[in-house]
């Protein structure tokens, strides 16, 4: 139901057919809940009826599982390398987008670097050259 609703909303907004629609279960699920979350993602993708690619926004363990199960076409690794499996997933290089909240590199607590990154329809990223809050890989 959610996938169909998202597909209809995307069409109403003029989103190009075949582009990505992202889904999330952003609540710090545990490994025991992965099966339920992956079933939800699979049902969401099925509701897209092949008219869109599925992106998953989640911690690393969930992104990895969604890719391994063939459910996700793209992943957006949620910020915070302390979340379950996130550092390991980042190291695989399989994340499409990485939300960088600055916890990978030691920095002065008084330092705040900001920037922007826009995902364009052609799959490229545009950014301001500063350290991005989200970066596209691959």
pLDDT 10s digits, 78-114: 988 888 999 999 999 999 999 887 765 444 444 434 4
- Maximal C-alpha separation, the chain: 48
Domain map of the chain by residue range?
Answer: 2-136
2-136 CATH fold: TIM Barrel (3.20.20)
- Is residue 100 classed exposed, middle or buried when 0-12, 13-18 and 19+ CB atoms within 10 A define those classes? buried
| Confidence label for 118 from pLDDT (cuts 50, 70 and 90) | very low
Question: Tell me: the pLDDT tens digits for 28-84?
Answer: 788 899 999 999 999 999 999 999 999 999 999 999 999 999 999 999 999 888 889
**Is 91 in contact with 121 (CB distance < 8 Å)?**
no
Using a cut of 0.75, tell me whether the model's pTM lies above it. no
């Amino acid at each position: 139901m959610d996938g169909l609703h998202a597909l209809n909303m995307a069409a109403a907004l003029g989103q190009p057919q075949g582009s990505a629609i992202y889904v999330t279960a952003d609540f710090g699920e545990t490994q025991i809940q992965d099966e339920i979350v992956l079933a939800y993602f699979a049902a969401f993708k099925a509701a897209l009826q092949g008219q869109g690619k599925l992106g998953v926004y989640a911690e690393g363990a969930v992104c990895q599982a969604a890719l391994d199960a063939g459910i996700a076409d793209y992943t957006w690794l949620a910020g915070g390398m302390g979340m379950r499996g996130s550092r390991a997933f980042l190291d695989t290089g399989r994340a499409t987008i990485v939300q960088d909240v600055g916890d990978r590199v030691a920095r002065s607590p008084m330092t705040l670097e900001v920037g922007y990154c826009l995902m364009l329809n052609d799959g490229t990223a545009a950014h301001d050259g500063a350290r991005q809050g989200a970066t596209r890989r691959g």
